[in-house]
């Protein structure tokens, strides 16, 4: 039911509650109220989807599709209400009924369909696309469970299912009539068509799975343009051989969409992952091709109408699958098909870590996808030939091959099959062309480009930090809310003492909000007058949460040893999930929690420091955490963090970056000035040069502070369990500290001391924070999206006035 005023909302709310649940406001539960409200908002959004699609059909417009195994959307109610301009109407309407909108907002679970940065980036991109009224839709899996919910029990991470669908997903619409059939296993039957002289390839004896789409509207801010996130769910197909065990079949189908990144350390796990990857791209491509053919006589102009962004290599099989569709279903010749298909895909790399570069055994792909495999083989054969003809260098042919050593290299398939390859920050893109993909860069330099990441300032500033937004609006006017480049105007006011004071007040209010959140949800008490020093991101050795906690241990030891020791009171906040099978990462979580406990129980140490590990870090936690922080810990080993996007969220909310020259920190420090952030440690090239000669033991022996902190891992200070942290100790000392934690330790201590000195001058500190905010325009995902549009996607913005 449509509404746009308080009164029409109230009427719609009461009537819908009655028709959906047969209840009055007094009788309905909070969950029913939330679902009713969401259904009204969804109806609003879907009517805009209709307007958007009708317009796009008329224009025969080119569309971009973002193929990603992850979309970390978080909650959507506030975001959608704000973007639709309905927040106030709803808030006031509900208040008339005695209902607090915040209570309903808190009922929604995070849509946690992903694991980290890559997934949140995808969500920010969707928000910017719709807001800039650009035709860009998402394509992913409708997972039954999110990554996992993290509990901390006895200081350790415990994983329990993340039941994000418990109350249903209020935003989705199921479209069973738009299902696509996806085939696994079976054989390839090759027959000769004597009329055309062509060979026909058919995938036979396959196991068929039905991919059913669920669409979620993606609402832009202040525009009717509304895109769609299409999530695919696997269901049983009617086409099932009667002689087979159907329970087995159902079980195998259920596993496809069961959860995010099933453990791939077993053979079965690997099969499920490959199934997931093929499932969502085959379904996505099937529906895109079908749409295209509704409006076009054939696929000849497919690349003019469709562009597909591959979010890392997880959707890389798209290249081969689209070739299959062209060859087998629409009888294209290879060369013509390839000339079109190779103009459709663009690939973004998000990591240089070797273990995250996907390689699948040939046998697995051949077994699961026999026809697609033969196409990958042919792409590989032709590419090897091209490289050889171009270079006459057999080593180069081997190094760049798609299939090599009985493995399919998904990054190579993505590069060969895409017209654009990009990294996600300047330094990262440089490392791609100079190191990781150097051979490819030499062969095809025109494909490579950089697109520095960004974040949506709507979720991460305007909506989650209303206090700062008001202050900014009072200072520079409201324009920055629509055009974030205007935030630069703030720079002229950063010396204004009144503004500085007002900023500190806002920061204090945000700290109080975080304190309340921690108290209500986790019974954790934090002093809002302390420095909030935060590291929030996935737990990984290269991100070096270990460096952070070793520094806290060092502080603890100083406090215990020197009665005169003093420092500004600091709360060290951590938020991090570790992959369930990542033993070292889980130990580091335990260490952080054990240090937290030790400090809490120490009357002297707890006067100066507090360590907080916030369980189950997710988008909703980040919305409280980022804007309450003073110091943003971005301390990865230089050269390892592709970009980071948390760093941008902190900066935009007035926190100072304490970081290495890695990922987007480089660009943050360039924009804000080296003197206005705290950069420390070895640089990427220095790390590379040191790699062969580095000896962590030397640092351990030569720096008494390091020795004392590291020794405490073994002497029972933080755990009464014998050898509890020996893995961490061994990693640093026996396995030579792969991520140079000890090499950067001294510089890190100094950086903290410098930060403390800066913080003590409150006016100078506030000035720094304001300058950081003023310089954050570049890190808006609106800017990133416009860069992609200009260089890669070439899609056109919708004329908003025509969406009626």
Which chain residues interact with ligand 26Y by CB under 6 A? 115-118, 121, 261, 312, 350-351, 356, 358, 424, 453, 641-645, 663
Q: Which of 509, 507, 511, 390 is nearest to 439 (CA)?
A: 390
Query: Which CB, 93 or 117, lies closer to ligand 26Y?
Result: 117
Q: Please list, in sequence order, all residues whose beta carbon lies within 8 angstroms of the beta carbon of residue 273, skipping any fewer than 6 positions away.
A: 261, 262, 264
Give burial (CB, 10 Å; 0-12/13-18/19+) of 111.
buried
In the complex, minimum distance from the CB of residue 38 to ligand 26Y, in angstroms, rounded to a whole number:
28
Query: Which CB, 78 or 115, lies closer to ligand 26Y?
Result: 115
**Which residues pair with residue 216 across a beta bridge?**
229
Give ∠ CA 729-646-545 in degrees, rounded to 5.
10
Residue of 324, 459, 537, 577 marked catalytic: 537
Give ∠ CA 335-338-344 in degrees, rounded to 5.
155
Rounded to 10 deg, the angle between the 30-59 and 77-84 helix axes is 50
Q: Which of 359, 376, 381 is nearest to 322 (CA)?
A: 376
Which letter does DSSP use for residue 425 in this model?
Answer: S
Q: Would you say 545 and 574 are in contact if contact means Cβ atoms under 8 Å apart?
A: yes
Query: Which CB, 16 or 645, lies closer to ligand 26Y?
Result: 645
In the complex, minimum distance from the CB of residue 274 to ligand 26Y, in angstroms, rounded to a whole number:
11
In the complex, minimum distance from the CB of residue 496 to ligand 26Y, in angstroms, rounded to a whole number:
34
Residue 254: count other Cβ atoms within 10 Å of its Cβ: 13
Q: How far apart, in Å, do the first and last CA atoms of the chain sit?
A: 17
In the complex, minimum distance from the CB of residue 128 to ligand 26Y, in angstroms, rounded to a whole number:
14
CA distance 457 to 433: 30
Q: Is 543 marked active-site?
A: yes
CA distance 192 to 223: 54
Residue of 586, 649, 671, 775 marked catalytic: 649
In the complex, minimum distance from the CB of residue 68 to ligand 26Y, in angstroms, rounded to a whole number:
10
Rounded to 10 deg, the angle between the 77-84 and 117-131 helix axes is 20
Q: Would you say 276 and 141 are in contact if contact means Cβ atoms under 8 Å apart?
A: yes
In the complex, minimum distance from the CB of residue 644 to ligand 26Y, in angstroms, rounded to a whole number:
5
In the complex, minimum distance from the CB of residue 69 to ligand 26Y, in angstroms, rounded to a whole number:
7
Q: Would you say 159 and 149 are in contact if contact means Cβ atoms under 8 Å apart?
A: yes
β-pair type (403-404, 407-409) = antiparallel
Q: Is 497 marked active-site?
A: no
- Count of residues in the chain: 804
CA distance 478 to 486: 9
Structure-block tokens of residue 405: 């050593």
Give the DSSP letter string of 480-508: GGT-GGGGGGGGGGTT-HHHHHHHHHHHH
Query: Which CB, 459 or 507, lies closer to ligand 26Y?
Result: 459
Query: Which CB, 120 or 203, lies closer to ligand 26Y?
Result: 120
Query: Which CB, 52 or 784, lies closer to ligand 26Y?
Result: 784
In the complex, minimum distance from the CB of residue 220 to ligand 26Y, in angstroms, rounded to a whole number:
22
Query: Which CB, 652 or 803, lies closer to ligand 26Y?
Result: 652
Q: Is 350 marked active-site?
A: yes
Rounded to 10 deg, the angle between the 370-391 and 410-417 helix axes is 70
**Residue whose C-beta lies closest to ligand 26Y:** 117
Query: Which CB, 669 or 696, lies closer to ligand 26Y?
Result: 669
CA distance 233 to 210: 8
Query: Which CB, 121 or 589, lies closer to ligand 26Y?
Result: 121
CA distance 498 to 509: 17
Buried b (16+ CB within 10 A) or exposed e, 625-649: bbbbbbbbbbbbbbbbbbbbbbbbb
In the complex, minimum distance from the CB of residue 616 to ligand 26Y, in angstroms, rounded to a whole number:
18
In the complex, minimum distance from the CB of residue 347 to ligand 26Y, in angstroms, rounded to a whole number:
13
Query: Which CB, 557 or 660, lies closer to ligand 26Y?
Result: 660
Q: Which of 619, 623, 664, 613 is nearest to 425 (CA)?
A: 664
In the complex, minimum distance from the CB of residue 310 to ligand 26Y, in angstroms, rounded to a whole number:
13
Residue of 10, 42, 511, 543 marked catalytic: 543
To which residue do tokens 């030790």 refer?
Answer: 598
Q: Please list, in sequence order, all residues whose beta carbon lies within 8 angstroms of the beta carbon of residue 547, skipping any fewer than 6 positions away.
A: 635, 741, 744, 745, 748
CA distance 706 to 717: 15
Query: Which CB, 610 or 640, lies closer to ligand 26Y?
Result: 640
Q: Is 649 marked active-site?
A: yes
Query: Which CB, 12 or 274, lies closer to ligand 26Y?
Result: 274
CA distance 252 to 276: 11
CA distance 110 to 518: 17
In the complex, minimum distance from the CB of residue 358 to ligand 26Y, in angstroms, rounded to a whole number:
6
Residue of 10, 33, 230, 350 marked catalytic: 350
Residue of 78, 570, 645, 660 marked catalytic: 645
Query: Which CB, 354 or 801, lies closer to ligand 26Y?
Result: 354
Q: Is 645 marked active-site?
A: yes
In the complex, minimum distance from the CB of residue 455 to ligand 26Y, in angstroms, rounded to a whole number:
10
Quick one: how far is CA 559 from the chain centroid?
38
With the C-alpha atoms ordered 542, 545, 549, 554, is the resulting torsion angle positive or negative? positive
Q: Would you say 156 and 593 are in contact if contact means Cβ atoms under 8 Å apart?
A: yes
Q: Which of 218, 230, 173, 221 is nearest to 45 (CA)?
A: 218
Q: Which residues are catalytic?
A: 350, 537-538, 543, 645, 649
């Amino acid at each position: 039911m449509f509404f746009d005023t308080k009164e029409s909302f109230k009427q719609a709310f009461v009537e819908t509650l009655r028709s959906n649940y047969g209840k009055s406001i007094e009788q309905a539960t909070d969950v029913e109220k939330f679902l009713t409200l969401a259904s009204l908002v969804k109806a609003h959004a879907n009517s805009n989807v209709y307007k958007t699609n009708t317009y796009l059909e008329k224009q025969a417009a080119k569309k971009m599709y973002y193929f990603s195994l992850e979309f970390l959307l978080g909650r959507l109610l506030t975001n959608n209400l704000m973007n639709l301009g309905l927040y106030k109407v709803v808030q006031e309407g509900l208040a008339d009924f005695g209902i607090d909108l915040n209570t309903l907002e808190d009922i929604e679970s995070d849509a946690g369909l992903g694991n980290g940065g890559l997934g949140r980036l995808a969500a920010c991109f969707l928000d910017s696309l719709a807001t800039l009224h650009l035709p860009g839709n998402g394509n992913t899996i409708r997972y039954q469970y999110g990554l996992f919910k993290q509990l901390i029990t006895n200081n350790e991470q415990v994983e329990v299912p993340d039941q994000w669908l418990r109350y249903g997903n209020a935003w989705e619409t199921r479209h069973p009539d738009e299902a696509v059939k996806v085939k696994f296993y079976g054989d390839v039957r090759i027959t000769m068509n004597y009329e055309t002289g062509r060979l026909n390839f058919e995938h036979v004896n396959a196991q068929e799975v039905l991919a059913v789409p669920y669409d979620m509207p993606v609402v832009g801010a202040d525009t009717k343009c509304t895109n769609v996130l299409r999530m695919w769910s696997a269901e049983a197909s009617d086409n099932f051989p009667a002689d087979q065990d159907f329970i087995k079949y159902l079980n195998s189908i259920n596993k496809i969409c069961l959860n995010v990144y099933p453990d791939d350390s077993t053979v079965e796990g690997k099969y499920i992952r490959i199934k997931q990857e093929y499932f969502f791209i085959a379904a996505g491509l099937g529906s895109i091709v079908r749409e295209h053919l509704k409006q076009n006589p054939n696929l000849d102009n497919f690349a003019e109408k469709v562009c597909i962004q591959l979010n890392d290599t997880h959707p890389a099989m798209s290249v081969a699958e689209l070739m299959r569709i062209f060859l087998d279903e629409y009888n294209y010749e290879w060369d013509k098909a390839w000339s079109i298909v190779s103009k459709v895909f663009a690939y973004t790399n998000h990591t240089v870590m070797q273990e995250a570069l996907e390689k699948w055994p040939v046998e697995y792909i051949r077994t699961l996808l026999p026809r697609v495999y033969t196409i990958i083989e042919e792409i590989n054969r032709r590419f090897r030939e091209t490289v050889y003809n171009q270079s006459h260098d057999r080593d180069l042919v081997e190094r760049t091959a798609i299939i090599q050593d009985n493995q399919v290299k998904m990054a190579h398939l993505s590069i060969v099959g895409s017209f654009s390859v990009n990294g996600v920050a300047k330094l990262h893109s440089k490392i791609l062309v100079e190191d990781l993909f150097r051979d490819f860069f030499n062969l095809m330099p025109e494909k490579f480009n950089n697109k520095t990441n960004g974040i949506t300032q709507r979720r991460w500033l305007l909506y989650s930090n209303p206090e700062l937004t008001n202050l900014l609006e009072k200072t520079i006017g409201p324009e920055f809310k629509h055009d974030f480049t205007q935030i630069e105007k703030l720079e002229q006011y950063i010396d204004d003492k009144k503004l500085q004071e007002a900023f500190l007040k806002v920061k204090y209010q945000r700290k109080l909000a975080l304190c309340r959140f921690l108290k209500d949800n986790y019974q954790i008490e934090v002093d809002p007058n302390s420095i909030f020093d935060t590291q929030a991101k996935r737990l990984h050795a290269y991100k070096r949460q270990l460096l952070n906690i070793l520094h806290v241990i060092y502080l603890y030891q100083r406090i215990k040893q020197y009665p005169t020791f003093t420092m500004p009171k600091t709360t060290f906040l951590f938020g991090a999930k570790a992959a369930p099978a990542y033993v070292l990462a889980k130990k580091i979580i335990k260490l952080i929690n054990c240090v937290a406990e030790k400090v809490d129980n120490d009357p002297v140490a707890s006067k100066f420091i507090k360590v907080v590990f916030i369980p189950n870090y997710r988008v909703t936690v980040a919305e409280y955490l980022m804007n309450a922080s003073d110091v943003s810990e971005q301390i990865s080993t230089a050269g390892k963090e592709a970009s980071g996007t948390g760093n941008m969220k902190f900066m935009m909310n007035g926190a100072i970056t304490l970081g290495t020259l890695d990922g987007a920190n480089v660009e943050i420090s360039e924009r804000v000035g080296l003197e206005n952030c705290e950069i420390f440690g070895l640089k990427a090239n220095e790390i590379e040069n040191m790699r062969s000669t580095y000896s962590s033991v030397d640092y351990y022996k030569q720096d008494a502070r390091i020795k004392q902190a590291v020794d405490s891992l073994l002497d029972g200070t933080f755990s009464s369990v014998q050898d509890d942290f020996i893995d961490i100790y061994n990693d640093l000392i026996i396995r030579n500290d792969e991520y140079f934690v000890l090499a950067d330790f001294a510089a890190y201590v100094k950086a903290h001391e410098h930060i403390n000195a800066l913080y003590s001058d409150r006016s100078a500190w506030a000035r720094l924070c304001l300058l950081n905010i003023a310089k954050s325009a570049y890190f808006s995902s609106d800017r990133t999206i416009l860069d992609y549009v200009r260089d890669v996607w070439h899609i056109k913005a919708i004329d908003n006035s025509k969406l009626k």
